Amino acid sequence: MKAAYYDGPGQLRVAETEPVMPGPGEAQVRVAYTGICGTDLHIFHGKMDRRVKIPQIMGHELSGTIAAVGAGVKGLAVGQRATVMPLDWCGECPACRAGHTHICQRLKFLGIDTPGAFQSFWNVPARAVVPLPDDFPLRRGALIEPAAVACHDLRMAGLRANELAVVIGGGPIGALIAQAARAAGARVIVAEINAARQALLRELGLEVVDPRAEDLTQRVETASEGAGADVVFEVSAQPAGIAAALKLPRTRGRIVVVGIFSEPPPVDLFRVFWRELRLIGARVYEREDFEAAVRWAAHHGNDIERLISAVYPIEQISDAFHRLEAGGDVMKVLVRCGPEP
């Protein structure tokens, strides 16, 4: 089998290794495709060297089939298609006891805090496995993890049909939020500055604003007869993005913070006070979000698969990372880690 190791900033090495049988309570996934996440790129750039263990196998957005199960694992069949909710929680901390295992105070993220899915066979806790329908296309399966992020964001927003939603940042997560919001019956406006991404979003039938060329606040005011947006999803993680987000909601509108800000941005709290806004954090997902994403992708799969810009074999994983890092016309890049069944 093959595995890709992160050896330090900018260095990825593919090596031949032996698969390890799954331990008690584990499942072994024969990995088909693994998507490259922004977090993986962050690790590749050396920004998380204090957290990962070098050499680190990255990757957490995958699809595949169950290859084997360890002792005591029930309900998973060998050959079954699956994806993985890449979280491992302690079950004992106050957050877990309150039912919020996805934001466990000692949360381990599989593929960051443990070895990940850029390898042919991946052993994970069996409870992390999310089954896919038998005929589910595996390329699409690799997009279920980011789609589950979008489903969680919508749920945290309490988004309802006929509401006006604005998505700030039209990368893979923003595009999935916009598509999921539209599927939920909302009217959606996406703000994105990258021309290639704008073009793809428009091809997908989404309403797109380039905030450098047009006044976003004005567009939202016009669309809502002066009321403002019901929900704003801040996905860009840029100070300009959160500044724009504060200007857009109606009275008692909601702002969902999806983007991961590495530095604290200035936030106009007067605006929060004045319009009685709700500022909502949304981090990763829960199992019901994965299940919602699988149901959604079963019906809107073609739109979701259009976000895949390129697929590279694992031997060329460095090229895949460089393609994503170069930006431009790229949305989602997948790595093929094994044969399609």
Q: CB-wise, 60 or 197, nearer to Zn ion?
A: 60
Q: CB-wise, 91 or 185, nearer to Zn ion?
A: 91
Residues that bind Zn ion (CB under 5 A): 37, 39, 89-90, 93, 96, 104
Write down the least CB distance from residue 2 to Zn ion, Å.
Answer: 21
Q: What is the 3-state secondary structure (H, E, C) of 74-101?
A: CCCCCCCEEEECCEECCCCCHHHHCCCH
Write down the least CB distance from residue 112 to Zn ion, Å.
Answer: 9
Q: CB-wise, 37 or 142, nearer to Zn ion?
A: 37
Q: CB-wise, 100 or 278, nearer to Zn ion?
A: 100
Active site residues: 39, 42
Q: CB-wise, 277 or 320, nearer to Zn ion?
A: 320
Write down the least CB distance from residue 103 to Zn ion, Å.
Answer: 9
Q: CB-wise, 25 or 75, nearer to Zn ion?
A: 25
Write down the least CB distance from residue 147 to Zn ion, Å.
Answer: 11
Q: What is the 3-state secondary structure (H, E, C) of the chain?
A: CEEEEEEECCEEEEEECCCCCCCCCEEEEEEEEEECCHHHHHHHCCCCCCCCCCCECCCCEEEEEEEEECCCCCCCCCCCEEEECCEECCCCCHHHHCCCHHHCCCCEEECCCECCCCECEEEEEHHHEEECCCCCCHHHHCCHHHHHHHHHHHHHHCCCCCCEEEEECCCHHHHHHHHHHHHCCCEEEEECCCHHHHHHHHHCCCEEECCCCCCHHHHHHHHCCCCCEEEEEECCCCHHHHHHHHHCEEEEEEEEECCCCCCCCCCCHHHHHHCCCEEEECCCCCHHHHHHHHHHHHHHHHHHHCCEEEEEEHHHHHHHHHHHHHCCCCCEEEEECCCCC
Write down the least CB distance from residue 260 to Zn ion, Å.
Answer: 10
Write down the least CB distance from residue 221 to Zn ion, Å.
Answer: 34
